[in-house]
Amino acid sequence: MKHYTNKDIYERDNFTCQYCGWSGAHDFESWNRGWLAIDYVKPRKHGGTDEHDNLVVACHTCNSVKGSSMCNSVEEGKKIITTKNEQWHKWFTKYVLY
């Protein structure tokens, strides 16, 4: 089994969030604003592994919103993020913009 470094994952994903598409590949400002990290698609607490296909680049926002929600694919992660953002948008509209 090959050991993959964070650098391998960042390069494979072109320094781009696999959930929302935010790219940090072009300049430091974009990379820094995205606060890119390596995310476990299937979180370790749900049996996710360090295998290459379970690790993706994620921006801080997507990584935080997805959290440790159970999912098995990037597509499932995108749905979780979209659903949570819709819920938070409703809350924001009701309690902040009221």
Reported pTM: 0.89
pLDDT digits (tens, 9 = 90+) for 33-62: 999 999 999 999 999 999 999 999 999 999
CA distance 68 to 66: 6
Query: How does the average pLDDT of the chain come out, rounded?
Result: 94
Confidence of residue 3 (pLDDT cuts 50, 70, 90): confident
Q: Please report the domains of the chain, with CATH numbers, ordered by start residue.
A: 6-95 (1.10.30)
DSSP string, 7-56: HHHHHHTTTB-TTT--B-SS-HHHHHHHT-EEEESS-GGGT--S-GGGEE
Confidence of residue 98 (pLDDT cuts 50, 70, 90): confident
In the predicted structure, residue 80 carries a pLDDT above the cut 90: yes
